[in-house]
């Protein structure tokens, strides 16, 4: 039974920080591309940051470079999205998602479809 459960959202002031957690169960990090995406009201969903093959950060959105990063707790199967220097335009519902890796797929391209996703966690920056 696959589950992706996000937590850690909340309200912060402009310039603040948050750490979102994605508890992953029922699938392997090696077999799936795990990533974070977000959707603000009235806007399309956009990929933010993914865990590339080899453990590097794969940035899907230019605006979060130098501010967001991923961290992984291997033993607990948790993928963290660490967000610093938050801006009001970062306000959105953030989703943790998984896409099955294909042959030759290093997870560096923004996902256009997901096999599994969590329920989302709300981030508000004001």
| Collapsed DSSP state (helix, strand, coil) of residue 70 | strand
- The pLDDT score that the predictor gives to residue 75 is 85
Closest C-alpha to 7, from 66, 67, 93: 93
Q: How far apart are CA 47 and CA 94, in angstroms?
A: 10
Burial of 82 from C-beta contacts in 10 A (0-12 / 13-18 / 19+): middle
Residue 88 has pLDDT above 90, yes or no: yes
The number of C-alpha atoms within 13 Å of 99 and in the hemisphere containing its C-beta is 23
- The pLDDT score that the predictor gives to residue 66 is 94
Write the pLDDT tens digit of every residue in 21-74.
999 999 999 999 999 999 999 999 999 999 998 889 999 999 999 999 999 998
Write the pLDDT tens digit of every residue in 40-49.
999 999 999 9
Q: How large is the average pLDDT for residues 81-101?
A: 97
Percentage of residues in the chain having pLDDT higher than 70:
100
């Amino acid at each position: 039974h696959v589950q992706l459960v996000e937590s850690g959202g909340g309200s912060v002031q402009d310039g603040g920080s948050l750490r979102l957690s994605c508890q992953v169960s029922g699938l392997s990090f090696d077999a799936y591309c795990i990533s974070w995406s977000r959707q603000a009201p009235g806007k399309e969903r956009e990929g933010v940051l993914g865990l590339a093959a080899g453990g590097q950060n794969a940035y899907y959105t230019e605006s979060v470079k130098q501010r967001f990063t991923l961290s992984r707790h291997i033993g607990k199967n948790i993928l963290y999205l660490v967000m610093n220097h938050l801006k009001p335009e970062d306000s959105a519902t953030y989703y943790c998602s998984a896409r099955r890796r294909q042959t030759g797929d290093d997870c560096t391209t923004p996902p256009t479809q997901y096999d599994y996703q969590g329920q989302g966690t709300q981030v508000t920056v004001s």
